Amino acid sequence: MVAMTPEQLAERRHEFQVVDVRWPNEWEAGHIEGSVHVPEDDLDDRLDELDAARPVVTVCRSGHRSERAAEELRAEGFRAENLEGGVLAWAEAGLPLVTPAGTAGEVAEPEPPPDDRPAFDQRLQSEMMSVLMDLQAEFGDRRPSDEEVRGFLRRRMIAEGRSPEEADEVLSRI
Q: Which residues are catalytic?
A: 60
Distance between CA atoms of residues 72 and 27, nearest Å: 21
User: Residue 73 in contact with residue 58, Cβ under 8 Å?
Assistant: yes
Locate all alpha helices (DSSP H) within 49-173, ordered by sequence. 64-75, 86-92, 119-139, 146-159, 164-172
User: Residue 30 in contact with residue 114, Cβ under 8 Å?
Assistant: no
